[in-house]
Amino acid sequence: MKPRSLALSLVALTLAASSLRAEEGMWTFDNLPTKQISEKYGWAPDQAWLDHVRLSVLRFPGGSGSFVSKDGLVLTNHHVGRGWIQRVSSKDADYVKNGFAALTREQEIKVPGLELMTLMATDNITERLAKAVKAGLPEKESLKAREVEIEKIKQEMQQKSGLTCEHVSLYQGGEHWIYSYKKHTDVRLVFAPEQQVAFFGGDPDNFTFPRHNLDFSIFRVYENGQPYLATEFLHWTQTGLKAGDLTLVTGHPGRTNRQDTLAQMVYSRDVAIPMRLKSMERRKKALVEYAKTSAEASRQASTQIFGIENGIKATNGYWSGLKDKEAMARIAAAEKDLRARVAKDPKLAASVGESWGKIEQATKADKKMAKETLLLNQRGSFLLGSDQNPTLLRYALTLVRLTAEEAKPSDQRLPEFSDAALKTAKVRLGIPSPYYPEQEAFLFTRGLEDAARELGPEHRFVKTMLGGKSPAAVAKAAVEGSKLGDPEVRKALLAGGKKAIAESQDPMITLAKKLDPIARELRKRQEDLVMSVITEHGSRIAKARFAAYGKSAYPDATFTLRLTYGPVEGYPANGTLIQPFTTFGGLFDRYDGWGGNEAKAHGSAWTLPQRWVDKRGALDASVPFNFAHKVDIIGGNSGSPVIDKQGELVGLIFDGNIESLPGNYFYDEKVNRGVAVDARAILHALDKVYGATGLVAELTGK
């Protein structure tokens, strides 16, 4: 691919902060570029607008959502809710494939384990933290002192407010905040369309535009057994959008790395991303192999395969940005400029001058541990699974670590085992989740094979876990002998504490007790040689950037609430201009163009559920379906509401275009686009295809 003409990256814009593109930025609510917005659009959000939006928006596990009715209805993407929809599905009721609609509130299905968060307050603790961490401490001591003080502050604020408090580091440690959330733990499924229309076009169309995805689902929050009375919620648009209209997106972008040093980006390009992609491809291959064993296995694995395919395509997109020579040259030039400015200031030079070199050394140390970290400590791996699909080994490790950490004084624990975190972990261990022994044994075998192949037969982990036996034999014995798939067994072990874990003969607990010391040792090496260095010196570089250019830029995404904005607008591609809107007519044109439901091309990617074919004549072909807009988003923004100046909901973010994926590292205003479901499409489909008139009435307030 030929290098594209790129806008300045966030690092590069420190060369000339005034040249910041109007649509660039994932802005925190405390530092919005209101002057820029007002100058371009003749309007900017005031505090009342921001408070209304902040209290209307929700954080999902891995995504975003929003309240859309006074009785606690919540809108998000189908793909954000998909894992939870699958959790309440079964062999006889596949709500992912066939969809779900609750005709009454009594039919709404409680989703075990799903927790949503509303941001209630933010507090800047940077100065307090600076006073508590003495200057000049070695990196390891500085990291520990900072962690202890942060935990102390969190505990104080949680006890005072009764909210769930999280530490948030912004600007690579240049600022530290506490974000306080109201947690919603009773969440119920209300509506989901069929997977085939939610993800129409499948993997071939993923991260592209024009697009025709009805990627939404609806839940409801309950409190004390009754629908939650939302004091703030987003009213549904009465007018809809047209090309050129300003849109604002509020959600929780997961992570960007625009402020990484050049050495960190090179490490990601040459080591971390290629290794991660290989691991994802191997896991996908194993899941596809398992899915072929039966129809039920296919149902079980479909959501996991979907997630991995999405991750592979996204990660390749991020990687393409780092392989763009022009972009990397800009980033290198920006870093060179900042380092030159630091060198001219004796005080800054003494504090920050060596920081870039220290971080580069840390990446070299990280490279030596990369395979082990990916296999042993990486969430989403073969061995540990994910939050929505935990493996038995993950349950076992959590039990072993939780009971061990609970016995320690709070200031000596791992950061993730604070008093509040311990309480949350205990609750989650007791939540029922689907357990498939055949899938567990299959993937555990593949995970052990993967580790043996990557680490070698003499590695301590391989010898400890296998004990001279084959991966298949170890996996079979551990899975068949373990009772940890039963939440009551997990709760009993928790109740028994450290003594119960020590005496447990459960084979997964036995393996976890062998693995935990190895994983802890690896973690300590990584913290000492990598994380403490990057945390300390990344913070120093951030402070130097503030000193040189002021706080005119936005911080990297951290899965915390942000605002981005821009107009509905197409973009140049394929020798033409891509339109800003698609329509219901375009959906059926693509369906017909690929041969309808008789065609099976590319995994039947462009087929439609039969009810959509049957209702075709009732649909208005001109109603907008999806739209593209010039907003700066990244993974985690999925499910974010698209809002207009009136604070009304006009759409629902579900993707970015393929050109936006390098946005993990830099922004290109010419082609970066968010892709959203039009609010009018959701209502039209609910009314004309699904006959969900009660739901339409609640959403519109009519």
The CA distance from 59 to 63, in Å, is 6
Question: Which DSSP string do the residues of 426-462 spell out, in sequence order?
Answer: HHHHTS-----HHHHHHHHHHHHHHHHHHH-TTSHHH
- Give the phi and the psi of residue 262 in degrees, each rounded to 5: -60, -40
Distance, CA of 564 to chain centre: 17
* Amino acid letter, residue 267: Y
Question: Which DSSP string do the residues of 367-420 spell out, in sequence order?
Answer: HHHHHHIIIII-TTSTTTB-SSSB-HHHHHHHHHHHHHHHTS-GGGS-GGGSHH
Per-domain residue ranges of the chain = 12-115+185-258+577-700, 117-184, 262-542
The CA distance from 142 to 122, in Å, is 24
Residue linked to tokens 């959590």? 398
Q: What burial letters (b/e) apply to 215-241, b meaning 16+ CB within 10 Å?
A: bbbbbbbbeeeebbebebbbbbbeebb
**Pick from 163, 125, 164, 162: nearest CA to 146:** 125
pLDDT of residue 12: 38
The CA distance from 123 to 145, in Å, is 20
What Rg value do the Cα atoms of the chain yield, rounded? Answer: 25
Please say whether the beta carbons of 22 and 8 come within 8 A. Answer: no
pTM of the model: 0.92
pLDDT of residue 22: 58
Specify burial of residue 530 (Cβ count, 10 A radius: 0-12, 13-18, 19+): buried
The CA distance from 353 to 540, in Å, is 9
Which residues lie below 8 Å from residue 597, measured CB to CB, with a gap of 6+? Answer: 607, 608, 610, 613
pLDDT of residue 17: 38
State how far the alpha carbon of 145 is from the alpha carbons of 116, 156, 161, 422, 529, in Å: 31, 17, 24, 21, 17
- Structure confidence by residue, pLDDT tens digits, 191-213: 999 999 999 999 999 999 999 99
- Structure confidence by residue, pLDDT tens digits, 24-35: 999 999 999 999
Distance, CA of 688 to chain centre: 33
Within the chain, which residues score under 50 in pLDDT? 1-20
CATH of domain 12-115+185-258+577-700: 2.40.10.120
